[in-house]
Amino acid sequence: MKLILQIALVCAACAALSASGKAIHTGADAPVREVPFTQVHFTDKFWAPRIETNRTVSIPSAFKECEKNGRFDNFAIAGKLMQGEHKGDFSFDDTDPYKIIEGASYSLAVKYDAKLDAYLDSVISLIAAAQEPDGYLTTCVTNNCTRLSGWWGTKRWQKINSHELYNCGHLYEAAVAHYRATGKRSLLDVAVKNADLVCETFGLGDNQIHYPSGHPIIEMALAKLYKVTNNPKYLDTAKYFVEEAGRLTNGRHPSQYSQDHMPILAQEEIVGHAVRAGYLYSGVADVAALTADTAHFNALRRVWHNMASRKLYITGGIGSRAQGEGFGPDYELHNHTAYSETCASIANVYWNHRMFLATGQARYADVLERALYNAVLSGVSLSGYKFFYDNPLESMGQHERQQWFGCACCPGNVTRFMASIPHYMYATRGRDIFVNLYAESSARIAADNNDVTITQTTAYPWDGDIALTVDPARRSEWALRLRIPGWATDHPVPTDLYTYAHSGGKPVTVTVNGRNVAFETVDGYAVISRKWKRGDVVRLSLPMDVHRVIAHDDVTDDRGKTALQRGPIVYCIEAVDQPDGTVFDKYIPDDSQFTPAFEPSLLGGVMTLSTSAMKVLPDGSTTAVPLKAIPYSTWNNRGPRHMAVWIPRQATLARPEPLPTIASRAQPFSEPTNIDPDTPAATSNLQSAYGYNDLWEPTSSADTSKPYHYWWLRRGTTENICYSLAEPTTVSSVDVYWLDFDHYDGNYRTPQSWCLYYMTPDHRWQPVEATSPYGTRKDCYNRLTFTPVTTTALKLQAKLQDGQSGGVIEWKVN
Ligand SMILES: [Zn+2]
């Protein structure tokens, strides 16, 4: 279909701040126009309660965490309102309050709350006080926090990865939201002053810094600021940051990690840190739309196609690796070790929404919906105060949502995102109205020459029947464009990454005022063109068959497995729902039938899927057992359990419950080692050790599909992992399977050498008396035999190869 990217800068209602500072509608926009979320009111049983929980629980509890963790104190110290030490571990801690202010502002706009309004005023006064006279604002720099100088250096704007511009971007996002919600300029003035400094500091001029943003968001934030103020310099600087990515003319080293490896115009593959990628490409889409730049938009389409065809989880999450929080190679979509950061799923929604706005194509809204109902929603507990950072598609119970994180990007992002979900429902182009999401709701939509109220009556996503009552202010002819989700027409994704095992379910039907209508499908939308009058009722019926999804054969971790989907909802099986309490020992034969049932008292009311599965017993025999699946987004609301999204189709891929071993009963840990001051991110969790006693057998040293231990950002150092044994145990050999694979974040290699220690009764580490060589071969176990010792703990100490990192996939003790 034709790429619609016209100059959209000229509009009847031009956007600017009037002299009085009151908002006037923006004129600068993409060809498809957004419908503000304040015009859309959900009254459904799926989203409305979650959005209300966000308002009443998530936002206040996240603000409380900011208070507890010194986030506001940092602003107060910078503003000389209090004395004390700068707090927190990251140079981007300022963004936590910004994100929550943004979410709180959205929330205020929908439901006014005088107390919250006043709270925001007080927080904003701290932020304003922290701003330096020339507009600069990053508290750890102003507070001269040398403890964090690994991030920011010794002066402002010194390090590309300092996150100063990331702080600025989140400030603008919050400021625009607060201004739009309240009409108050307090935070907007801070943002504008800061943006003026950024525009002066960064650019192609001789006296300007030539750096891209490091961690994007300022691109889309400046575009937003431009839309509110109509000041073209913000758009110019956004464009500068987009074009600076990969322009390595100043001796800068290419960085895949922050998509600064080649110009966006040359990019084909999505690589690097997933949140950075999603935010950068969202910003590129904004700038491309606002400047009618088809070249950049075409580059985006290529990168998007790579993402959607090779690097997209069935849940809509992106970014498979914990290392660098980023993408692996094509088709690397491991489930157990999936990173799929909550922020990355949110970024994926932002990006796809902008791709839709630029093109009017449903394929982007399809990916948006998939991420929204699955990967994003999994990021927050039903209670509203616990969050996932990574969202694995398989677990042995080691994952659990947390109230807060040292690096707290995700909770704040969830609060701002959940409040804005109604924003993604509708859009307009000329007189036409797009319907992208379905939920019981009412909306007032301003299309050209008409105001239209649309009321949706439906039990979506549990039921596919949707009645839309259309009430135009005046009778006129235009087209209602109803998205026909790809999942309803045998295309779960708009690429060949996922397909249905069985195609050809029930058809999609549309009636208007009770009569079947033949409709044309354009760009994935059923186009209903007619002269609309008040009370017209459109009924859309989407088939809610249970589908078995099959992944592209190159996704090795999904080979021979199936995922279950009904409507937009991806399912998982969690141990607590299975009568025998196990997950990985089951498979679902291809001919099994599923029974959907709505269970109002389960997990806030969900549709479950039940079937008869087969269980593989330790002796290799099989037996039929009942199996129940729940929506993936609702797992881990009843404690940490075994869980899987991709379920084997044959007995060979099911794993009978393994018998416990010395290693599996041991408690893994690691001893602190010296810290490299240049790698600030490695300073946390020094004692945590994990993944080498899970009893999953590796297939190679590059098999990162199941838990493994790695020494992230450590290179050439001496590292260790340990076992604390439950009781004094006599041991005489160990088997070690080393990690060995390439990554832009640092290659993982077998070690140069290693040594095994045991704990003596007087609590000293003593090397074992080895009776075989210390092996460092890859792709196999390395057995070390030694004179038997009776001990309560073992330590494996590895000297990494020069310049290389390393890790252990599995460590057995015999
Ligand atoms: Zn995050």
Q: Which residues pair with 132 in a beta bridge?
A: none
Q: How far is the CA of 392 from the centre of ligand 1 (A)?
A: 14
Question: Which pLDDT belongs to residue 743?
Answer: 81
Instruction: Summarize pLDDT for 495-553 with one digit per residue, the tens.
Output: 999 999 998 778 999 999 999 998 899 999 999 999 999 999 999 999 999 999 999 99
The C-alpha angle 282, 288, 294, rounded to 5 degrees, equals 125
Average pLDDT, stretch 146-166? Answer: 96
Q: Above 60 in pLDDT, residue 578? A: yes
3-class DSSP assignment, residue 304: helix
Whether 5 has a pLDDT exceeding 80, the answer reads no
To the query of whether residue 780 is one of the catalytic residues in this protein, the response is no
- Of all residues in the chain, the percent with pLDDT exceeding 70 is 94
pTM: 0.92
The pLDDT assigned to 13 comes to: 30
Residue 674 has pLDDT above 70, yes or no: no
pLDDT at 24 over 60: no
User: Which residues hold their Cβ within 5 A of ligand 1, which is an ion?
Assistant: 341, 343, 409-410
Report the Cα–Cα distance between both ends of the chain, in Å, rounded: 63
User: Prior bond to 461 cis, omega within 30?
Assistant: yes
- Span 104-128, average pLDDT: 95
Which is the catalytic residue, given 219, 325, 394, 574?
325
- Rounded average pLDDT over 598-624: 97
Average pLDDT for 193-197:
98
Distance 318 CA to ligand 1 centre (A): 12
pLDDT at residue 30, rounded to an integer? 59
- Token reading at 592: 């099994």
pLDDT of residue 498: 98
The H or E element that residue 612 is part of is: strand 606-616
CB atoms within 10 A of CB 482: 26
Give pLDDT tens digits for 433-468. Answer: 999 999 999 999 999 989 999 999 999 999 999 999
173: pLDDT confidence band, cut at 50, 70 and 90?
very high
Is residue 409 annotated as part of the catalytic site, yes or no? yes
Q: What pLDDT score does 690 carry? A: 83
Q: Are 161 and 214 in contact (CB under 8 A)?
A: yes
Q: Is the pLDDT of residue 567 over 80?
A: yes
* H or E segment and range at residue 644: strand 642-644
> Rounded mean pLDDT of 491-498?
97
Amino acid, res. 593: Q
Specify the 3-state DSSP secondary structure of 83: coil
How confident is the model over 648-658, as pLDDT tens digits? 999 999 999 99
Ligand 1 midpoint to CA 408 (Å): 7
Predicted pLDDT of residue 130: 98
Distances (CA, A) of 544 to 288, 295, 461, 806: 37, 39, 9, 47
Give pLDDT tens digits for 503-512.
Answer: 877 899 999 9
Reduce the DSSP state of residue 536 to 3 states and report it. strand
Q: 723-762 pLDDT, tens per residue?
A: 999 899 999 999 999 999 988 777 899 999 999 999 999 9
Q: Is the pLDDT of residue 685 over 70?
A: no
Distance CA 457, CA 449 (A): 26
CA of 326 to the centre of ligand 1 (A): 12
* Ligand 1 centroid from CA 313, angstroms: 17
| The pLDDT of residue 18 | 30
pLDDT of 405: 86
| Confidence class for position 408, pLDDT limits 50, 70, 90 | confident
Mean pLDDT of 94-108: 95
Cβ contacts of 434 within 8 Å, gap of 6 or more: 32, 360, 426, 427, 428, 481, 483, 525
**Each residue's pLDDT tens digit, 329-353:** 999 999 999 999 999 999 999 999 9
For ligand 1, the distance from its centroid to the CA atom of residue 436, given in whole angstroms, is 26
How crowded is residue 581: how many other Cβ atoms within 10 Å of its Cβ? 11
Position with higher pLDDT, 279 vs 17? 279
- For ligand 1, the distance from its centroid to the CA atom of residue 724, given in whole angstroms, is 32
Q: Contact at 8 Å (CB) between 183 and 23?
A: yes
Residue 807 has pLDDT above 80, yes or no: yes
Quick one: which H or E segment has residue 181?
helix 164-182
Distance CA 806, CA 753 (A): 11
- In the set 409, 410, 572, 722, the catalytic residue is 409
Place of tokens 């959940």: 418
pLDDT in tens, 358-399: 999 999 999 999 999 999 999 999 999 999 999 999 999 999
Query: Tens of pLDDT along 205-264?
Result: 999 999 999 999 999 999 999 999 999 999 999 999 999 999 998 789 999 999 999 999
| Centre of ligand 1 from the C-alpha of residue 341, in Å | 6
Instruction: Band the pLDDT of 117: cuts 50, 70, 90.
Output: very high
Cβ neighbours of 158 (radius 10 Å): 13
pLDDT value for 356: 96
Q: What is the pLDDT of residue 16?
A: 32
Sheet with strand 515-516: strands edge to edge: 40-42, 441-447, 450-458, 465-472, 536-541, 509-512, 515-516
- Closest of 35, 21, 24 to residue 421, by C-alpha: 35
The pair phi, psi for residue 136, each rounded to 5°, is -65, 140
| Mean pLDDT, the chain, whole residue set | 92
